[in-house]
Every structure is written in structure tokens, then in C-alpha cells.
Amino acid sequence: MNSKRYSRQRELIYETLIHTTEHPTAEMVYHWLKPENPSLSLGTVYRNLKLLADDGRIARMAFPVERYDANITPHPHFRCDRCGAVYDIDLPYEKDIDRAAEEASGHQIRVHEVLCRGVCVKCRKEETRSS
């Protein structure tokens, strides 16, 4: 395995992200880079995006897969970085954020979603038990 080649691809992927505001998926990055880099594989893109995110050089959007919720009233969510569990957070909806976002962007805001991330109650308990 040639690690130099892999780090070069990682920098290429990083450069691509710097020059876009599209918040691309791994597939999008792959399709952008593939024509100029025939040896690039989708797996390499996934792996390098993950490494960049783990290093804190890029941000990972919080919902990696589509989630479904029967509660259609907008409400904040919490997602555990350890186990991936998603919980509701019982807080009132902040209409002020919609208004402020509309003023700041000119977009018509219908709803905003709040996602908190961290370590869930269950994982925290397991942590204290094992330490």
C-alpha cells in the first residue's frame, strides 16, 4: 500500500471541500473527482472523508442516513456520538431563529431543525461503570 498516494488523494478531497459550499455527499465528491482521477474509488473517498472528519479538518453533517419520526411537530433532537441513538429534546420551538435566518439569508424559512450531539445518558452511565 502506498501511503503517499493515499494522503495525496486525501488532500485532493480536502481541496474539493474547501472550494464548494454544497455540503456534498461522498458520492458527489467522487463524481466530481473521478473524471480527472480515474484510479479513485468511492471507498477511498468515504475513507478519506471519514479521516478528515475524525481529524477535525472537516465537519460531518449530523444525519448520515435518513431518520424518521412520527412526531411531526418540529422539536430538537439529540444524537449520541457513541451509539448513534437519537432522542427527542423537550424544548419549545424557537420562532425567533426562523425570523433571524430569513433576515440574514433572504430565504423563506418554513422550519428549522435543531440537532444536539454528544454522549447520551446510557453511554455516560456505561462510561462511569467501566472506569
Contact footprint for Zn ion (CB under 5 A): 69, 71, 80, 82-83, 88, 120, 123
Q: Whose Cβ is closer to Zn ion: residue 10's or residue 77's?
A: 77
Helices (H), the chain: 3-18, 26-33, 42-54, 95-105, 121-130
Minimum separation from the CB atom of position 77 to Zn ion (A): 5
Minimal CA–CA distance to 74: which of 57, 94, 58?
94
Minimum separation from the CB atom of position 70 to Zn ion (A): 8
What whole-number distance in Å separates Cα of residue 3 and Cα of residue 126?
37
Q: Whose Cβ is closer to Zn ion: residue 2's or residue 71's?
A: 71
Minimum separation from the CB atom of position 86 to Zn ion (A): 7
Q: Whose Cβ is closer to Zn ion: residue 22's or residue 88's?
A: 88
